[in-house]
Amino acid sequence: MKLPPLALAYHGLFEVPLREDPHHFFVRPSDLKAQIRRLLTWGYSLVTFGELVRRARLGEATGAAALTFDDGLVDVVETLLPLIESEGAVATVFVVSGWLGRPHPDAPSRRIIDEDELRLLASSDAVEIGAHTVTHPNLCTLPYEDAVRELRESKEALEQIGGTAVEVAAYPYGAANAETRRACREAGFTGACRTSGEGSWSDPYDLPRQAMENRASLLGLRLKRADRYEYLMRHKAFRLVRKTSRRLHELRGR
């Protein structure tokens, strides 16, 4: 069986009860480990997002999967790095350069990595650093030159601090249009990604990712592999099943 290319989008990696995680940012480390092992069992080759972009350009992305982490929460140093090293995996961390060392705006109990931690990540063979803009705006709402500036200045700042090339980007909120993609090319990136399954594997500046949320299941991972999850989420019955499952998780955690 040919495995479709796959990019998974995470944020934090920490044990947080669903009732305390309104944005569903935090995936349990045990769940990520199970997801990595399932991908390998299916036969996927785990690659950085930059490598996935390269393969997509050549039409050779079949069977490749990338783990990506948005914003740059400190979890990527404290938990992700040792986990993927122990599992023989790699990941790409898309960092908001203007948030370094600050509490995350939507999860203030956790902070963004600081400059020293960025350098530590950049020095690891298991992690690729990508850009996630300077201030995390919806780039589709900005004038073209401002969108270019957000992308380019993020890339330059991360390269200067980390000492490594930053060649890929993730659009904040997964929002991108033709002008945004053109801005990303002009800013010097080789490729970029969206989320929620939006985008196309035929355009390296519009590659789709599937969002991985708190308590994401292996069944959900299978549906995302098949690009069926977002379609099913438009149906009330499926949403009800997911809501019930998450409610049960909440009750068990009390």
Spans of all domains in the chain = 6-216
pLDDT at 11 over 80: yes
pLDDT at 88 over 70: yes
Name the percent of the chain lying above pLDDT 70. Answer: 90
What per-residue confidence (pLDDT) applies to 228?
A: 79
Q: Which pLDDT belongs to residue 227?
A: 81
Rounded distance between C-alpha atoms, residue 28 and residue 100, angstroms: 23
Give the whole-angstrom CA distance, residue 183 versus residue 185: 5
Q: Which two tokens stand for residue 103?
A: 């509490």
**pLDDT score, position 233:** 60
Which top CATH class is 6-216? alpha beta
pLDDT class of 234 with cuts at 50, 70, 90: low
Residue type, 128: E
How many percent of the chain have pLDDT more than 90?
A: 85
pLDDT digits (tens, 9 = 90+) for 167-219: 999 999 999 999 999 999 999 999 999 999 999 999 999 999 999 999 988 99
CB atoms within 10 A of CB 174: 19
Q: What's the CA gap between 235 and 157, in Å, rounded?
A: 43
The mean pLDDT of 143-160, rounded to a whole number, is: 98
pTM for the whole thing? 0.91
Residue 1 burial by Cβ neighbours in a 10 Å radius (0-12, 13-18, 19+) = exposed
CB 209 within 8 A of CB 174: yes
243: Cβ contacts below 8 Å, ≥ 6 apart = none
